[in-house]
């Protein structure tokens, strides 16, 4: 009996599915293998440790301190200069004394400390003596899981919503090789975690919004992972809020029963760990200014203060607050004629003194970044960290310049085309496109309109890392373009060229993502940068 035309077509589809999934597994294997290989190869300053920058050393210092010293304070750890970091703050600890702490949100460090605790107690290996073994083991385990958590939802999204194998395989190849997320898989960072969380929450949200699913798992996943993205990357709160609103409109009861409680769990854990670490509900980067006014002095004392003399009037103001200064109290000038710090080593306290139009204000000291050796004080920062004075020039370099989203990874040009195609359609596609456009615009504008001190492209980094959490959204928006180009030879070649160029940019910093992009370095070589 000969097979019918329908059965032959089903067999052909099944065989095509097998080949496509074989390609997926091959891409995953190459991506993970490359990530693990690069992780094994990395080493920091002078090859003394596997930690690549101040950014990741800040987290590693907390991990080591939690397990080895049972505290969030990193004073003992950073005495070794190979563990020190500029990404730290200085404030009162629970013992009433000042200590150094990592400026990074502590939740991720707590999770990594759990991994280190297992290694130390099961294998008897300490990270201080064997930083390469312990550090690389944790990085390989953690980042491999995060990469899988990023790639797998991407596969599920394209399998469900893309119509062609060209689009499906092309987008999976892009997430494996054409973005900076795989670049950052050789170091501990929040960007890969945030993007992975967005990918999972996006898949769950699409199943609810586009397919009308009402299973509890989709709401639990959307709520938990959208909140996880938000607590690990501040601008992702826009994704968390907008996705939550969309699900509340589409399916209010399951969102209230499952989505919101799941989100509350991760938000509560994040706030709780921050409070335990810093005795404050606000994260460290929210402590960048003087605290509340403790008292005022009507006379202008800036002359004696500039001479680093402590006027009796200042002592009297603090005495009214039951603060008795010791003989070791001294004045340190921060801004001549306008701001000073009162430092008393005898009682281990410090206060801010601010000149106003009417006199002098004595304030509680709440600028955790204002300590003697701080890199973040005015006049100390250098290079790109000084900030770009021109907001227009900054916007250009963020989008098309030396840290440009489109110049470094031009594959996102297809995202723009895809969003345009979806916006021209009706129904769920237009709504998803509007969702992605709004979040992208909000994130980019948020950083463009930051004050001068924050207009630094993310510091020493291979790309505009503050937008990396948007990558799962941008990948999804490529679907309509690649679906239309599946039979057009010129479209296939354009996509291949864009992906190749993006992969080159991503691989340029494959052994250390905490370096400048190749465009920035090349412009510096030409002498076109100040």
Query: What is the number of structural domains in the chain?
Result: 1
Q: Helix, strand, coil proportions of the chain in percent (round to 5)? A: 60, 10, 30
pLDDT in tens, 21-71: 999 999 999 999 999 999 998 887 667 788 999 999 999 999 999 999 999
The residue range of the domain holding 316 is 293-364
Structural domain contains residue 350: yes
Query: What confidence tens digit (pLDDT) does each residue in 273-298 have?
Result: 999 999 999 999 999 988 899 988 88
**Do 138 and 92 contact (CB within 8 A), yes or no?**
no
- Please report whether residue 12 resides in a domain: no
What are the Cα distances from residue 431, in Å, to 166, 390, 426?
24, 35, 8
Distance CA 132, CA 420 (A): 47
Q: What is residue 316's predicted lDDT score, i.e. its pLDDT?
A: 87
User: Residue 104, CB half-sphere, CA atoms under 13 Å: how many?
Assistant: 25
pLDDT for 15 equals: 59
Identify the CA nearest to 418 among candidates 440, 396, 392, 399. 440
Element of type H or E holding 91: strand 88-92
Helix axes 260-278, 216-232, angle to 10 degrees: 30
Distance set, CA 297 to CA 323, 357, 420 (Å)? 16, 11, 61
At 282, give phi and psi (nearest 5°): -85, 140
Could you tell me if 23 and 158 are in contact, meaning their C-beta atoms sit under 8 angstroms apart? no
Does 372 reside within a domain? no
User: SS3 sequence, 432-449?
Assistant: HHHHHHHHHHHHHHHHHC
Q: Report yes or no on 451 lying in a domain.
A: no
**Greatest alpha-carbon span in the chain:** 107
**Structural tokens at position 295:** 């008292």
Q: Is residue 339 part of a domain?
A: yes
CB 39, CB 188: distance < 8 Å: no
Least confident of 46-60, 187-201, 448-462, 474-488: 46-60
How far is residue 226's CA from residue 180's CA, in Å, rounded to a whole number? 21
User: How many other CB atoms are there within 10 angstroms of residue 265's CB atom?
Assistant: 15
Residue 176 banded pLDDT, cuts 50, 70, 90: very high
- Residue 326 in any domain: the answer is yes
Residue appearing with tokens 């095509």: 16
Within a domain: residue 278?
no
**311 lies in some domain:** yes
How many CB atoms within 10 Å of residue 431?
15
Integer Cα distance of 47 and 511 in angstroms: 13
- pLDDT reading at 268 higher than 90: yes
The pLDDT, as a whole number, for residue 6 is 47
Residue 107: closest CA among 248, 249, 272: 272
Give the position of tokens 């074989």. 22
What sign does the CA torsion over 455, 189, 111, 61 have?
negative
The answer to which of 14-18, 69-73, 283-287, 517-521 has the lowest mean pLDDT is 14-18
518 vs 183: CA distance, rounded Å: 14
Q: Is the pTM higher than 0.85?
A: yes
Say what percent of the chain tops pLDDT 90.
Answer: 75
Calculate the average pLDDT of the chain: 92
What's the pLDDT score for residue 2? 46
């Amino acid at each position: 009996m000969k097979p019918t035309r329908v059965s032959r077509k089903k067999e052909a589809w099944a065989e095509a599915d097998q080949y496509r999934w074989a390609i997926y597994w091959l891409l995953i294997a190459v991506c993970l293998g490359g990530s693990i290989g690069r992780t094994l190869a990395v080493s920091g300053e002078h090859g003394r440790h596997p930690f690549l920058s101040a950014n990741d050393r800040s987290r590693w210092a907390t991990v080591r301190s939690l397990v080895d010293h049972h505290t969030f304070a990193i004073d003992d750890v950073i005495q070794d200069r190979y563990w020190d970091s500029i990404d730290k703050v200085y404030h009162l600890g629970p013992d009433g004394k000042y200590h150094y702490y990592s400026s990074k949100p502590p939740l991720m460090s707590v999770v990594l400390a759990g991994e280190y605790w297992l290694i130390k107690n099961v294998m008897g290996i300490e990270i201080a003596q064997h930083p390469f073994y312990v550090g690389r083991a944790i990085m390989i385990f953690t980042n491999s899981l995060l990469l899988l958590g990023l790639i797998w939802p991407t596969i599920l999204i394209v399998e469900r919503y893309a119509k062609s194998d060209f689009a499906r395989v092309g987008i999976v190849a892009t997430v494996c090789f054409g973005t900076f997320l795989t670049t950052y898989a050789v170091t501990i960072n929040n960007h890969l975690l945030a993007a992975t969380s967005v990918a999972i929450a996006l898949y769950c949200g699409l199943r609810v919004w586009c397919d009308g699913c009402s299973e509890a798992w989709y709401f639990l996943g959307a709520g938990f992972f959208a909140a996880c993205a938000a607590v690990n990357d501040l601008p992702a709160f826009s994704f968390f809020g907008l996705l939550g609103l969309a699900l509340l409109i589409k399916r209010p009861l399951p969102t209230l029963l499952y989505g919101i409680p799941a989100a509350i769990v991760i938000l509560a854990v994040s706030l709780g760990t921050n409070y335990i670490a810093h005795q404050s509900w606000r994260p460290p980067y929210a402590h960048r200014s003087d605290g509340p006014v403790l008292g005022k002095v009507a006379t202008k004392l800036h002359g004696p203060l500039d001479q680093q003399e402590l006027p009796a009037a200042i002592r009297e103001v603090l005495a009214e607050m039951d603060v008795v200064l010791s003989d070791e109290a001294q004045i340190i000038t921060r801004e001549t004629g306008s701001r000073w710090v009162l430092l008393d080593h005898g009682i281990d306290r410090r206060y801010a003194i601010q000149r106003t139009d009417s006199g002098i204000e004595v304030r509680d000291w709440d600028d955790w970044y204002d300590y003697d050796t701080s890199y973040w004080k005015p006049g100390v920062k250098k290079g790109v960290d000084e900030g770009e004075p021109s907001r227009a020039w900054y916007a250009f370099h963020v989008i098309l310049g030396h840290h440009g989203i489109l110049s470094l990874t031009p594959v996102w040009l297809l995202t723009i085309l895809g969003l345009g195609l979806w916006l021209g359609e009706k129904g769920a596609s237009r709504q998803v496109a509007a969702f992605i456009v709004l979040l992208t615009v909000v994130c980019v504008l948020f950083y463009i309109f930051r004050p001068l001190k924050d207009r630094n492209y993310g510091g020493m980094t291979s790309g505009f890392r503050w937008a990396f959490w948007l990558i799962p959204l941008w990948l999804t928006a490529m679907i309509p373009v690649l679906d239309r180009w599946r039979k057009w030879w010129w479209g296939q070649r354009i996509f291949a060229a864009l992906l190749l160029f993006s992969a080159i940019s991503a691989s340029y910093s494959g052994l250390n993502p905490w370096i400048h992009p190749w465009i920035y370095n090349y412009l510096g070589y030409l002498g076109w940068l100040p």
